[in-house]
Amino acid sequence: MLDQGIKGMIGKGSRKPEVVESMKKNGCTYFAAVGGAAALIAKSIKKYEVLAYGELGPEALAELTVED
């Protein structure tokens, strides 16, 4: 997905070194979310559209529109 142009990931854990290198190469930003902060973060999400793998639920590939 990184080579296809994904520009951001949201997660709570670390990424493997090879993933970090690919993120740097492809200009992808990792947004680290603190566990339990979902309710606060959700207030800023104005649009959520599943692009692929909808059957994975929260792990699906989605496009988010976010405002401060």
The structural domain count of the chain equals 2
Tell the burial category of 22 from Cβ atoms under 10 Å away from its Cβ (0-12, 13-18, 19+): middle
What span, in angstroms and rounded, lies between the C-alpha atoms of 34 and 22? 23
Mean pLDDT of 18-43: 90
Total-model pTM? 0.67
Question: Same structural domain for residues 67 and 53?
Answer: yes
Q: Quote the mean pLDDT of the chain.
A: 91
Whether 40 and 66 map to the same domain: the answer is: yes
pLDDT digits (tens, 9 = 90+) for 5-30: 999 998 888 899 999 999 999 999 99
Domain holding 21, by residue range, is 1-32
Question: Quick check: 47 pLDDT over 90?
Answer: yes
Place of tokens 């709570």: 12
Q: Which amino acid is at 41?
A: I
Is the same domain home to 68 and 40? yes
Task: Please give the pLDDT value at position 33.
Answer: 81
Spatial neighbors of 68 by CB under 8 A, at least 6 apart, are: 44
